[in-house]
Chain A
């Protein structure tokens, strides 16, 4: 477990912040000043460079070589330690900025959007160079990175030019004058360094953001990263601001808990955000409107009856007879956006395989859920999920036995 240094940064008034953003190219600040490096360390945590650029469980920090699963194959992260030969030690600040905010390497070739430059482009140059300043202080590691590991035809980087033309809009975040400074800070963090859109925004079949559906959820790595707009049924509409800050900081709140890839995100990144930044993110996300969708299909009564029986006999042991769980321990299925998500992939996965929620210093319990895959057949899993999604305040589309069967097959090949 890596303990990043705790950092407290005082966020100045909006004017000061905006003034800082307008610095632009004029006079890049001194890369060795202590304040700058600390700012860089914080922003590196926010951008979570560590997660993708470090092999889990003992890899050298930022030395790359971590395989990252994408819908197009496995891609391997690069070494971003200051090693001159195998890392980025020899890069200029401009080259670093171009990579992070334009997706272009020093040799002109394009980065794949597994590196979330479509999000990082919104960062200010000052913030990016602060990150650079911090990365220059980490231990240089001589670690050559494996060559392009994507399968054909995705290994043709030249194709990225076309992709960029379709899906990449370069440009810094523009604050909205009608909104508060906190809202703008939240928007900046979510759209920029936090790169929440990388997992939570639906993508086209070529992997570009469907920006009209920003943050409405996306299926990746065998999970559905849920809707995190303010939608009442699918998103965070039932969460208070305190619920959201608690979730990001500790991995848990009275409704739900982080698991799967989000667990890693909480441990490495959001649990170390400033409280002010957490409030800003909460303000921004909750302000995003829900999308009026057609009422979901009504569930069939046989499925509801069967699901109710299974729920009472099994799930109620932890999730309670009323579906409300136990705060900070067992998620409230009645209110869980993950359980009600339009794409039930995460819910199916948890029922079939079990799961464990994240442990943080503030919430170390990390309760586990058993696997039900051996006990319930596809129709039964579908029935109990249909029941859970429709028994209480909100409704969601029924789950079919076929969907469960497909998921069971796909999951059986996953190692994680």
Chain B
């Protein structure tokens, strides 16, 4: 059985393989195996935005830095790469809501029935960021969100979060919830996805990363685990230092 290596556009983090694109196989007699089988992750490469426009990118960086502000010990959302993470996610299957049930009719429902919009995350960001900047330009003498002072940003975001400030044409409250979620995902995900640069978030909390064997630590109760975090693409100590 051959597992196709999936060809990725540089920078797209995951390709969700819809089962409809796979070949059916008949398995009989023994377990299939081919060399290099499987689908390892492809790391995000730094570079220009894949999805965001320049303005959108600036706005999301600004949002990320308010959701996770920088402090002396740990970088904020922007420097940690959260906006890069979100950009690459929106450019890929997540942004397109690939795999979701997207048939009509689209009818508003109860909160318990979940999102019923035809828009995936990518479209939602595009609309909402535009609405956010338009709101700021009208409320703050022509300034976009990224140009506001930090206190102004925080005030505005709180007000959106509480439902007091509405954005035109979009549900500002649920958009902000989405940005918080995506920013925090990017902050804590494996660095190969573009955020959590140099594993800064994992270092902050003391999470040792993508490890597999803790058998020698299970019964060492209440002791700090000493090894540094490691990503799926390794850590500095993996390369011999000459």
Contact = CB atoms under 8 A, between A and B. Distances in A.
A356 B212 contact: no
B238 A306 contact: yes
Nearest to B215: A321
A416 B35 contact: yes
A309 B237 contact: yes
Contacts of A354: 35-38
Contacts of B37: 354, 371
Nearest to A416: B35
Category for how many chain A residues contact B = 35 or more
A368 B33 contact: yes
B233 interface: yes
A294 B242 CA distance: 27
B215 A356 contact: no
B30 interface: yes
Tell which of B31, B211, B213, B241 has the most Cβ of chain A within 10 Å: B213
B169 interface: no
Contacts of A316: 212-213
Contacts of A356: 31, 33
Contacts of B238: 306, 309-310, 313, 376, 380, 383
Main SS at interface, chain B: loop
A313 B230 contact: yes
A303 B240 CA distance: 5
A359 interface: yes
A306 B241 contact: yes
B40 A305 contact: no
Contacts of B40: 371, 374-375
Contact of A302 (B38, B216, B230, B240): B240
A371 B38 contact: yes
A382 B211 CA distance: 21
Contact of A305 (B35, B234, B235, B237): B237
Contacts of B234: 310, 313, 375-376, 380
B155 interface: no
B212 A371 contact: no
B239 interface: yes
B240 A383 contact: yes
A306 B212 contact: no
B36 A313 contact: no
Contacts of A1: 29-30
A359 B239 contact: no
Given A371-B36, A373-B36, A375-B40, A305 B30 contact: no
Contacts of A306: 237-241
Tell which of A303, A321, A374 has the most Cβ of chain B within 10 Å: A374
Contacts of A310: 234, 238
A380 B30 CA distance: 33
A359 B32 CA distance: 11
B38 A321 contact: no
Interface in B204-242: 210-213, 215-216, 227, 230, 232-235, 237-242
Q: Which 4 A-B pairs have the closest CB atoms?
A: A317-B212, A302-B240, A353-B35, A309-B237
Interface of B: 29-31, 33, 35-38, 40, 210-213, 215-216, 227, 230, 232-235, 237-242
Interface of A: 1, 300, 302-303, 305-306, 309-310, 312-314, 316-317, 320-321, 353-356, 359, 366, 368, 370-371, 373-377, 379-380, 383, 411, 414, 416
Given A368-B31, A370-B38, 9 more contacts: A303-B240, A309-B237, A320-B213, A321-B216, A353-B35, A366-B30, A368-B33, A411-B35, A414-B35
25 contacts: A1-B29, A1-B30, A302-B241, A305-B240, A306-B239, A309-B235, A309-B237, A312-B227, A313-B210, A313-B211, A313-B234, A313-B235, A316-B213, A317-B212, A353-B36, A359-B31, A366-B30, A371-B35, A371-B38, A374-B40, A375-B40, A375-B233, A376-B238, A379-B240, A416-B35
